[in-house]
Amino acid sequence: MSRVVPPGPDDPPRLALRLLERHLDPDAAEVITGDLREEYRQRVRSIGRGAARRWFWRQALLSLAARARRRTTAADTHHPGARKASLMTGTAQDLRFALRLFRRAPLFALTAAFTIAVGVGSATTILTAANWTWLRPLPYRAPAQLVAVGETDRAGGLATAGFLTIQDWRARTRSFESLTPIRGWTPTLAAEDGARRLNGMRVGWDFFRVLGIRPALGRDFEPDDDHPGRWQVVLISDGLWRRRFEARPDVVGSSIEFNGRPYRIIGVLPAAFEPLISERYYSRAEVWAPLGYGPDDRSSCRTCRHLRAIGRLRDGASPGEAEAELATIQAGLRREHPEDYGEANPRVGLLGDQITAAARRPMGVLTGAVAFLLVIACANVAGLLVARSADRLREMVVRAALGAGRGRLVRQLLTESVLLAAAGTVLGLGGARLALRALAASAPAGFARLDQATADPGIWLIAFGVGVLSLLLFGLLPALDAVRGNLEGGLRASRVTGGPRSGRLREGLVVGQVAIALVLVIAGGLMFRTVGRLLAIDPGFDARGVLTAQFSLIGQRWATDEAVYAFQRDLESRVRALPGVDAVGLSGILPLGGNYDRRGFGVEGVTYDSPDDVPSGDRYSVSPGYFAVMGLPLRHGRLIGSEDTPTSMPVALVNETAARTLWPDGSAVGGRIKFGTGSDSPWVTVVGVVGDVQQYDLTSAPLPQFYVPQSQSTDSFLALVIRAPGALDGLADRVRSEVAALATDVPVYGVARLEDLVAASVGPRTFLTRILGAFGAMALLLATVGLYGIVAELVTAREREIGIRLSLGARRGEVARLILARGGVLVAAGLAIGAAGAAVASRLIATQLYDTAPVDPGTYAVAAGVLVTAAIAAHALPLRRATRVDPARVLRGD
């Protein structure tokens, strides 16, 4: 990446300077740029930089214009650069003609430039976004060889695996050059201004070698670091290094305290390193430590499936081959450890595909949509230019008759096209920059690199090319045709019209525009309906007026259940005392909160033949207040209360799904379950049944859910839920200070309103809806403009006829009907084609829809209604003109 030196306050706009230097003869350039620079400096001081820059641009452009106007004097012909100068004046003359033309028809020029801007801007935005989030290879060494490996989850997806499993794969495989385990890690960093939770990863020692990344400072992990007791060494990100350590090089070798224990910083990663793997599976990491598991650690077991594996395939090995080989290996493992493995075989997927998975489908849809929009824009420009070309014919013919060569005329037309395309492109690129910034700001999770998707010169060039090409194709060709065909005819005709051929072409274009606009409006409508349907789903809890905040209790101080439990109770009572707070509760995990605690469990009296059959469910370790805050309805039995203490009988609540599926005879209350498959875990008695909640998203069927009291089963990671309707503003800060008052090593993070968590769970669809909606609106606007153009033209062309009709006694209403009939046919044709097109195109977004058919009659009808309204708007002005034609004036022949 090249470093751009920001222009100093004393430097005038560089582009303006370059324009002057390129287009002025050397003496004039020296004097004029010198004068302007000198005065610019004075003006920066007197009127400020922005105003001075505007002044400079104005001066530069006016100066260029003044030079172009200058009459060629006799002295110039003796000038050595005379030939060049005459060529220059030629171009200057072209420019002048073009500008004069635009001034004469500003509506045409503006509409054309704006249309190109819409096309170029939206195409650039989407292509750039698609390029970064989807197409661009991962920024690691030989990214096509990088894969993710894991066991297969119930849905057939590539999931996690246990430590010993990954060890065995690594030892037995021949398809991989390397295979390394990873997991998320969120250490707490104590600091004077409050504890912070850092996002990080624990990784096999060769993780960065697999990616081909070397630390910019210090050293990489070595095999020796990846051992129990020796793994307290960390690599930190460039960002953390600059933010926390002022980019001091001596940070390498120094100590940093995480969770109350010292870690040694051994290196700093390069600034260009993008932690995409952590972003995909965990949170964007800033600190990395070795995994440091030993074979006998509690977390190392084969069924402790919490690790993922990243691998590099050997040269020539494909993911399919690797998967086949792992299947054989897995068969061996299954024989050796029959109780630990189910029937499914491990999966191998390209890392690039895994990382871009969430963005691919929406970006694909948007790329298709933007292609449609581009077609409309081109059609619009084409329509405008075809209309113009009729008008231009006369001018061209006159100029040809006065002796202008064909080449000269072609050059003139070219200049106009390029000028329009340039104006439109510049406008469009400006819009694209803003749009990309807005996209990055509203990007849902999974659109990994969207925040970097800015300047992409290659795509800009393509965009500009498309702009120019569309103009040339649609503007130059018809004009050339006209110049060639119709030299004398053009002079004689008092009003040159485009003739029947160009008329039909334009009508065809308008029909196409209406059709495509309808497709885009329908697509936006279907998505809008989907999001509405999703948000109307009852998540099982009442999200209104609830703030959530997460915190973690990690380190020596929180090693005992008593310490954790005491902290929780203190925190709850302090927060309950805050103004406006109605109720407070705690839970280990939050529905739709992005975290989960999924456990395998057994039911008393039920045995399972295979590990595949052991059911699993979501476990919520909660305080008694949780149910009131979340508004969870009690169906049977009792809730968890203060009577459930560390020493009383272990109890649990189950959700309705669990009660229905595990105790079909309705005997859930009084039933007993145990978590985990080990025989040492205690039996827990079910004392109540509560409603289902949506844990992962709004649409999946709920799993069995269990609520156990925090008093009997404490968690290190906790979420506070606070019901405080009307008092949510500023509550987060008050909660933070309550936590800080209790302990300085407890970081608060993930503060969010529960309603926002619900909204974020449909984030990708909302994102798609917004963009498709914007496209639909732009398409509608362009189609309306196109339609307006052709109706206005129709009125102009038939003004005489209308006048005659009126003078022969036709009523104004009949005239209006005449105009409406033609426009109506075009709109109806467009709607019919568009509806058919939408029925096909909407299948592309079928997977994004929820409870909405791709051919949803309601949506189609509303979209058609919107288009008809727009069409009526497009007819309004021309109609007004048509019905006010003055027969006397028309018949006089103006």
Partner 1 sequence: MGDWLGEFEQLVLFAVLQLEDGAYGVTIRQAIEDRTGRQVSAGAVYTTLERLEGRGLVLSAWGDPTPERGGKRKRYYRLRPEGRAALTRSWQALRAMARGSGRKLEST
Cα gap 273→285, rounded to integer Å: 11
CB of 419 to partner 1, least distance (A): 20
Query: Binding segment for partner 1 among 64-72, 89-97, 111-119, 859-867 (CB under 8 A)?
Result: 64-72
> Minimal distance in Å, beta carbon 89 to partner 1?
13
Q: Residue 443, interface with partner 1 (CB under 8 A)?
A: no
Q: Does 308 bind partner 1 (CB under 8 A)?
A: no
Q: Pick between residue 35 and residue 339 the one whose CB is nearest to partner 1.
A: 35
Member of 44, 52, 53, 63 binding partner 1 (CB under 8 A)? 63
- DSSP assignment of 768-813 equals HHHHHHHHHHHHHHHHHHHHHHHHHHHHHHTHHHHHHHHHTT--HH
User: Is residue 286 within 8 Å of 244, Cβ to Cβ?
Assistant: no
Of the pair 20, 771, the CB lying nearest partner 1 is at 20
Binding mask 2-41 toward partner 1 (x if CB under 8 A, else -) reads --------x-------------x---x-xxxxxxxxxx-x
Amino acid at residue number 110: L
Looking at 65, 142, 476, 862, which residue binds partner 1 (CB under 8 A)? 65
According to the binding rule CB under 8 A, does residue 70 interact with partner 1? Answer: yes
Site for partner 1 contains 75 (CB under 8 A): yes
Q: How far is the CB of 84 from partner 1 (least distance, A)?
A: 18
Apex 554 CA angle, 548 and 558, nearest 5: 105
> Among 67-75, 259-267, 342-350, 698-706, which window interacts with partner 1 (CB under 8 A)?
67-75
Q: Which of 44, 52, 53, 67 binds partner 1 (CB under 8 A)?
A: 67
Dist. CA 31–CA 67, nearest whole Å: 13
Q: How far apart are CA 182 and CA 188, in angstroms?
A: 19
11 versus 257: smaller Cβ distance to partner 1: 11
Q: What is the CA radius of gyration of the chain?
A: 35
Number of residues that bind partner 1 (CB under 8 A): 26
Nearer to partner 1, 42 or 642 (CB): 42
Query: What's phi and psi for 617, nearest 5 deg?
Result: -150, 175
Nearer to partner 1, 67 or 506 (CB): 67
Q: How far is the CB of 79 from partner 1 (least distance, A)?
A: 12
Per the CB < 8 A criterion, the answer to whether 149 and 178 are in contact is no
Residue 76 DSSP symbol: H
Which runs of E-coded beta strand occur in 581-715?
583-587, 598-603, 616-622, 634-637, 651-655, 672-675, 684-690, 705-709
- Rounded to the nearest 10°, the torsion over CA 299, 304, 307, 309 is 110
DSSP per-residue letters across 179-211 = EEEEEEE--EE--TT--EEPPEEEE-TTHHHHH
Q: Is residue 81 close enough to count as binding partner 1 by CB under 8 A?
A: no
Distances (CA, A) of 608 to 288, 613, 666, 677: 40, 6, 21, 10
Cβ proximity to partner 1, 11 vs 353, nearer residue: 11
CB of residue 125 to partner 1, shortest distance in Å:
37
Q: Tell me the one-letter amino acid at 455.
A: A
Shortest distance, position 37 Cβ to partner 1, whole Å: 5
When binding is defined by CB under 8 A, the residue of 16, 44, 52, 64 that contacts partner 1 is: 64
* Region of 57-65, 107-115, 123-131, 364-372 interacting with partner 1 (CB under 8 A): 57-65
Using an 8 Å Cβ cutoff, are 585 and 622 in contact? yes
Q: Which is nearer to partner 1, 31 or 191 (CB)?
A: 31
- Residue 886 as a binder of partner 1 (CB under 8 A): the answer is no
Which range in 60-68, 81-89, 260-268, 496-504 contacts partner 1 by CB under 8 A?
60-68
Q: Per rule CB under 8 A, is residue 96 in the interface with partner 1? A: no
State the nearest-atom distance from the C-beta of 59 to partner 1, in Å: 5
Count of residues making up the chain: 894
Return the number of the residue (31 or 891) whose C-beta is nearest partner 1.
Answer: 31
**Residue 62: CB minimum distance to partner 1, A:** 3
> Whose Cβ is closer to partner 1: residue 66's or residue 853's?
66
| Closer to partner 1 by Cβ: residue 43 or 734 | 43
Contacts of 621 (CB under 8 A, 6+ apart): 587, 588, 597, 707, 708, 709, 710, 713, 714, 715
Q: How far is the CB of 60 from partner 1 (least distance, A)?
A: 8
User: Considering only residues 73, 255, 647, 847, which one is a binding residue for partner 1 as defined by CB under 8 A?
Assistant: 73
Backbone angles phi, psi at 444, to 5 degrees: -75, 170
Instruction: In angstroms, give the least distance from the CB of 80 to partner 1.
Output: 17
CA atoms within 13 A on the CB side of 750: 24
Angle at 638 between CA 636 and CA 644, to 5 degrees: 150
Instruction: Tell me: does residue 92 bind partner 1 (CB under 8 A).
Output: no
For partner 1, the closer of residues 89 and 681 by Cβ is 89
d(CA 520, CA 860): 11
Residue 730's SS3 state is coil
Residues that bind partner 1 (CB under 8 A): 10, 24, 28, 30-39, 41, 58-59, 62-67, 69-70, 73, 75
